[in-house]
């Protein structure tokens, strides 16, 4: 019983697999051997929809009194006597008509030659038995002996002409090569000249008017990084803006995806919608390299003061959807363009920014007050050392440059930072704060003692 159930399941599965046949890649002739086409596809007839673009091999001509109409004849293939051969399918009909070995037959089960997303550049190239098979010739299977071909419907007088071309198969091993086809009367024919279907591949791509979707940025990973630390000191006698340059290295990668019906490995230029031109890439290949970058931090300091700065960032792995116009450029400089969409993946260092500690004095590491304390009146004639000059005003922030949401590589800021005074930054200066508190306490005690002694001496004189 179990054995019968297993056999039944295998049979059902086999039927399902035969019913849901996957699309089959098309092979084309390179300079040396057959290769897989990126833009052509053998589409099972059961998968056909009117939205698919099927390669046309000829037309059926219907002559009327006032005018004539042309019905497309599509390129199809069928397994005939164990060999894949090509023939024609008239629009509106449901059977592919092929011939081989002088045997003509029509098939209900067949494949149609699809031009995926209209991306392929196909043409019919003249051939005769003295010529080599042209580069890009389309084969009905993985054999280098058979190719999609057609023959001009000549010999019929103009009044009786019902087809422009007869679609068939070129067999390179039949003598010096022969095209077999079916004539309009349903009989088979052959010729030693005709035309071969050829796909011409582009030599490069241009991806233009790229629009990145800022609302669909997905961060896969975000790792906080410390890129460097330093202390900026003003050891001069005047206030001034001092700079510190940080250099750092990280692993960078970007990938624009493969997309449908796009040839992998071609050099591709990329221009954003805002006319920003990005470095060229190799399409379908993930770009990975080590980047060395520099970041300049500037800070306005009064003499005798300093500030600690830490350069931090987030190492981010993110994905962004995009749309753009893909232009295929061919060797004869003709172009073919279409609208595409995809996802751009990038691993890079983002949110690079400096973080500052409170500003402190160099001579004792005490914190610099953000405002000047009011002067203290005293009757003593003791000369005190002058206090260091303090920053008494807020230093305005440098205006942020407006960054376009599609600017993948925004212009680097010239100074690389914001100019700030003591803002109570996140870096710890516990030892300096404690030192500053002690210093402040020591300066307060002598002032109180001086006032008290002055008051006692005045009282003694009065009494």
Q: Given this model, what pLDDT does residue 64 score?
A: 73
d(CA 391, CA 366): 14
Q: What is the CA radius of gyration of the chain?
A: 40
Lookup: tokens for 259: 């997309």
Q: How far is CA 461 from CA 233, 380, 450, in A?
A: 52, 17, 17
Instruction: Compute φ and ψ for 89, nearest 5 degrees.
Output: -130, 115
Q: Could you tell me if 119 and 216 lie in one domain?
A: no
Task: Find the angle CA(298)-CA(303)-CA(304) to the nearest 5 degrees.
Answer: 105
d(CA 374, CA 51): 82
Domain count, the chain: 2
At which of 138, 171, 200 does a domain end?
A: 200
DSSP symbols for 308-355? EEEEEEEEEEEEEEEEEEEEEE-TTS-EEEEEEEEEEEEEEEEEEEEE
**Per-residue tens of pLDDT for the chain, all 463 residues:** 444 444 444 343 443 333 344 679 999 999 889 999 999 999 999 999 999 999 999 999 887 767 778 899 999 999 998 999 999 999 999 999 999 888 999 999 999 999 999 999 999 999 999 999 999 999 999 999 999 999 998 755 555 568 899 999 999 999 999 999 999 888 999 999 999 999 999 999 999 999 999 888 899 999 999 999 999 999 999 999 999 999 999 999 999 999 989 999 999 999 999 999 999 999 999 999 999 999 999 999 999 999 999 999 999 999 999 999 999 999 999 999 999 999 999 999 999 999 999 999 999 999 999 754 443 333 333 323 333 333 323 333 333 344 444 445 443 443 443 333 333 333 333 333 333 433 333 333 344 444 444 444 444 444 4
Lookup: tokens for 122: 């196909």
Q: Could you tell me if 301 and 391 lie in one domain?
A: yes
Q: Could you tell me if 166 and 266 lie in one domain?
A: no
In a domain? residue 122: yes
Beta carbons of 58 and 165 less than 8 angstroms apart: yes
The CA-based dihedral angle spanning residues 112, 114, 120, 122, taken in that order and rounded to the nearest 10 degrees:
20
In a domain? residue 448: no
Q: Is 270 in a helix, a strand, or coil? A: strand
At which of 175, 200, 225 does a domain end?
A: 200
The CATH number for 389's domain is: 2.170.15.10
Q: Is 434 in a helix, a strand, or coil? A: helix
Q: How far is CA 177 from CA 105, 134, 169, 253, 326, in A?
A: 22, 13, 10, 50, 38
In a domain? residue 463: no
Q: Could you tell me if 418 and 341 lie in one domain?
A: yes
Instruction: Compute φ and ψ for 159, nearest 5 degrees.
Output: -70, -30
Q: Could you tell me if 187 and 53 lie in one domain?
A: yes
Phi-psi region of 14 (alpha: psi -120 to 50; beta: other; left: phi over 0): alpha
Residue keyed to tokens 């070129």: 170
Q: Given this model, what pLDDT does residue 424 score?
A: 35
In a domain? residue 7: no
Phi-psi region of 304 (alpha: psi -120 to 50; beta: other; left: phi over 0): left
Q: Could you tell me if 417 and 338 lie in one domain?
A: yes
At which of 166, 182, 200 does a domain end?
A: 200
Beta carbons of 78 and 107 less than 8 angstroms apart: yes
Domain that holds residue 332: 204-426
Nearest to 124 by CA among 171, 30, 75, 194: 194
Q: Could you tell me if 268 and 167 lie in one domain?
A: no
d(CA 404, CA 385): 54
d(CA 425, CA 310): 10
Q: Could you tell me if 303 and 187 lie in one domain?
A: no
Instruction: Compute φ and ψ for 11, nearest 5 degrees.
Output: -65, -45
Q: Could you tell me if 80 and 226 lie in one domain?
A: no
Residue 171 neighbours by CB under 8 Å, 6+ apart: 145, 146, 177, 178, 179, 180
């Amino acid at each position: 019983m179990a054995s019968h159930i297993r056999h039944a399941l295998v049979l059902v599965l086999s039927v399902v697999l035969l019913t849901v046949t996957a699309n089959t890649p098309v092979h084309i002739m390179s300079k040396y051997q057959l290769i897989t086409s990126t833009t052509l596809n053998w589409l099972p007839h059961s998968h056909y929809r009117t939205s698919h673009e099927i390669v046309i091999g000829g037309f059926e001509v219907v002559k009327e009194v006032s005018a004539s109409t042309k019905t497309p004849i599509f390129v199809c293939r069928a397994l005939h006597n164990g060999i894949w051969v090509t023939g024609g399918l008239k629009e509106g009909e449901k059977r592919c008509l092929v011939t081989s070995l002088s045997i003509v037959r029509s098939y209900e089960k067949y494949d149609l030659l699809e031009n995926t997303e209209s991306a392929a550049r196909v043409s019919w190239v003249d051939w005769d038995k003295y010529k080599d098979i042209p580069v890009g010739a389309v084969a009905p299977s993985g054999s280098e002996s058979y190719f999609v071909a057609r023959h001009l419907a000549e010999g019929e007088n103009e009044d009786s002409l019902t087809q422009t071309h007869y679609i068939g198969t070129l067999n390179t091993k039949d003598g010096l090569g022969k095209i077999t086809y079916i004539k309009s009367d349903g009989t088979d024919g052959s010729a030693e000249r005709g035309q071969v279907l050829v796909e011409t591949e582009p030599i490069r791509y241009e991806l233009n008017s790229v629009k990145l979707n800022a609302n669909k940025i997905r961060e896969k990973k975000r790792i906080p990084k410390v890129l460097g630390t330093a202390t900026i000191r003003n050891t001069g006698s005047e206030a001034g803006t001092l700079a510190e340059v940080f250099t750092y290295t990280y692993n960078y990668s970007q990938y624009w995806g493969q997309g449908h019906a796009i040839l992998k490995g071609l050099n591709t230029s990329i221009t954003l919608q805002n006319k920003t031109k990005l470095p060229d890439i190799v399409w379908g290949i993930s770009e990975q390299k080590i980047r060395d970058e520099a970041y300049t931090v500037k800070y306005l300091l009064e003499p005798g003061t300093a500030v600690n700065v830490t350069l931090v960032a987030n190492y981010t792995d993110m994905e962004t959807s995009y749309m753009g116009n893909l232009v295929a450029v061919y060797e004869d400089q003709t172009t073919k363009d279409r609208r595409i969409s995809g996802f751009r993946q990038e691993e890079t260092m983002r949110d690079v920014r400096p973080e500052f500690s409170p500003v402190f004095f160099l001579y004792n590491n005490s914190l610099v007050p953000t405002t000047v304390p009011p002067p203290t009146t005293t009757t003593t004639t003791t000369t005190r050392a002058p206090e260091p000059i303090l920053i008494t005003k807020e230093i305005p922030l440098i205006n942020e440059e407006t960054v376009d949401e599609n600017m993948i590589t925004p212009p680097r800021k010239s100074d690389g930072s914001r100019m700030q005074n003591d803002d109570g930054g996140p870096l710890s200066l516990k030892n300096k704060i404690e030192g500053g508190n002690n210093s402040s306490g020591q300066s307060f005690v002598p002032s109180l003692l001086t006032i008290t002694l002055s008051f006692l001496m005045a009282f003694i004189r009065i009494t």
